[in-house]
């Protein structure tokens, strides 16, 4: 089998993959894709691949006539999440997997870090040298809060939400999820679009993990922000395009939202002087929620685990199509 990869692997990850797939061969792209948001150019070697692992452009995937399996080295899969691609993949019997299992834990920890940093007022407290008993100190102490007994709404119920539920489990929070088609096995109350207004109005913490697709663009808009509880905190670790940023700025300025914590924006990074950068209650990290030590090696190991399944014809992990 010919395995083509346009991912930007570390040297040790390349070793892992070559050893793990031998006697099958790895063909590395001459133009590696640096991240899920970058487009790599076409690559001749890709056309002959049996397996593609990385972030190839859709047109190039469809040009690969031998292709059996496409493995994405990300959790997000915006560019493939169209009815056109889904139909062509189904017609050709193409298996598509992503790397959710690699990113679910760090992403859940990242949003949890946001929640605790907010409730413990770290952005202000780490700059404060207030003396015990001073007004500033009393205000800071009383401004702190506990996550315990608060309510959470999770928008999007995938691998990250499942991890997040586990982490939040020890905090005795009231948690509701939204997904397009609730299955009943979520383990928490889960609503579809029609029933979203109720939980939106009750949540102290609204966590957006929605993927980007034609249904989710500007999902968080003026209307949905207006439905939220006054003083709610909004978190986004999904995709920036799912939020109408002008509406978000208005909700922050009016005080409707107490704060927004964003790992994703549109575009990334935001241009100089973008108003979100100057909002005092908007906290932004540069799309690093999935980052962790030895990320390249854990992606390689995840691919190799699926490679075994592919060879054995057993059930693939993180199959999305």
Rounded least distance, CB 197 to a second copy, Å = 27
187: tokens are 């383990």
Cβ closest to a second copy, residue 73 vs residue 105: 105
Minimum separation from the CB atom of position 53 to a second copy (A)? 18
Residue with smaller CB distance to a second copy, 195 or 279? 279
Question: Cis (ω within 30 of 0) for the bond into 3?
Answer: no
Between 119 and 190, whose beta carbon lies closer to a second copy?
119
- Shortest reach from residue 233's CB to a second copy, in Å: 14
* Residue placing its CB nearer to a second copy in the complex, 94 or 262: 262
For the sheet with 2-7, list strands across it: 25-33, 2-7, 51-54, 69-72, 95-97
Position of tokens 């109720």? 198
Distance in Å, CB of 278 to a second copy, minimum: 13
Query: Rule CB under 8 A: which residues touch a second copy?
Result: 8, 34-38, 105-106, 109-110, 112-113, 116-117, 119-123, 125-126, 128-133, 137, 140-148, 166-167, 169-171, 268-270, 277, 283-288, 290-295
- Looking at 113-198, which runs of residues are DSSP E strands? 151-155, 174-178, 190-191
Is the bond preceding residue 318 a cis peptide, omega within 30 degrees? no
In the complex, the smallest distance separating the C-beta of residue 142 from a second copy, rounded to whole angstroms, is: 6
What is the SS3 assignment for 184? coil
Q: DSSP label at 319? A: B
**What burial class does residue 45 get, using C-beta atoms within 10 Å of its C-beta: 0-12 exposed, 13-18 middle, 19+ buried?**
middle
The DSSP string of 126-146 is: TT--PPTTSHHHHHHHHH---
C-alpha distances in Å from residue 226, one per residue of 88, 232, 267: 40, 11, 24
Q: Give CA 98 to chain center in angstroms.
A: 12
Q: Do residues 91 and 119 touch, judged by C-beta distance below 8 A?
A: no
Which residues form the catalytic set?
239, 268, 287
CB 212, min distance to a second copy, A: 14
At its nearest, how many Å lie between a second copy and the CB of residue 85? 22
> Residue 93: exposed, middle, or buried by beta-carbon count in 10 A (0-12, 13-18, 19+)?
exposed
How many Å is the Cα radius of gyration of the chain?
Answer: 22
Cα separation, 315 vs 272, in Å, equals 47
Q: Do the bridges between strand 69-72 and strand 174-178 make them parallel or antiparallel, or are there none, so unpaired?
A: unpaired
Cβ nearer to a second copy, comparing 68 with 285: 285
Residue where the block lists tokens 């793990």: 20
User: Which is nearer to a second copy, 1 or 14 (by Cβ)?
Assistant: 14
């Amino acid at each position: 089998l010919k395995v083509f990869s346009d991912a930007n692997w570390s040297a040790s990850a390349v070793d892992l993959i070559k050893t793990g797939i031998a006697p099958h061969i790895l063909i590395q792209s001459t133009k590696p894709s640096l991240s899920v948001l970058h487009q790599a150019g076409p690559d001749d070697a890709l056309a002959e691949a049996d397996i593609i692992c990385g972030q190839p452009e859709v047109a190039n995937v469809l040009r690969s006539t031998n292709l059996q399996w496409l493995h994405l080295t990300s959790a997000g899969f915006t560019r493939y999440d169209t009815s056109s691609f889904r139909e062509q993949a189904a017609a050709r019997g193409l298996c598509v997997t992503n790397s959710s299992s690699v990113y679910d834990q760090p992403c859940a920890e990242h949003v949890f870090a946001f929640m605790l940093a907010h409730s413990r007022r770290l952005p202000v407290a780490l700059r404060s040298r207030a003396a015990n008993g001073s007004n500033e100190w009393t205000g800071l102490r009383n401004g702190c809060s506990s996550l315990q007994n608060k309510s959470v709404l999770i928008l999007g119920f995938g691998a990250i939400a499942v991890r997040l539920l586990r982490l939040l489990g020890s905090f005795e929070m009231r948690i509701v999820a939204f997904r397009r088609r609730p299955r009943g096995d979520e383990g928490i109350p889960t609503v579809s679009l029609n029933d979203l207004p109720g939980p939106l109005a009750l949540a102290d913490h609204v966590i957006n993990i929605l993927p980007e697709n034609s249904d989710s663009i500007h999902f968080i808009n003026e209307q949905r922000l207006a439905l939220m509880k006054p003083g709610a905190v909004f978190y986004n670790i999904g995709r920036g395009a799912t939020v109408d940023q002008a509406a978000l700025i208005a909700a922050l300025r009016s005080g409707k939202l107490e704060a927004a914590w964003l790992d994703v924006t549109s575009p990334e990074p935001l241009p100089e002087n973008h108003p979100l950068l100057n909002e005092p209650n908007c906290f932004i990290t540069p799309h690093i929620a999935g980052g962790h030590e030895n990320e390249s090696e854990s992606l390689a190991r995840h691919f190799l685990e699926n490679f075994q399944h592919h060879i054995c014809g057993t059930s693939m992990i993180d199959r999305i199509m």
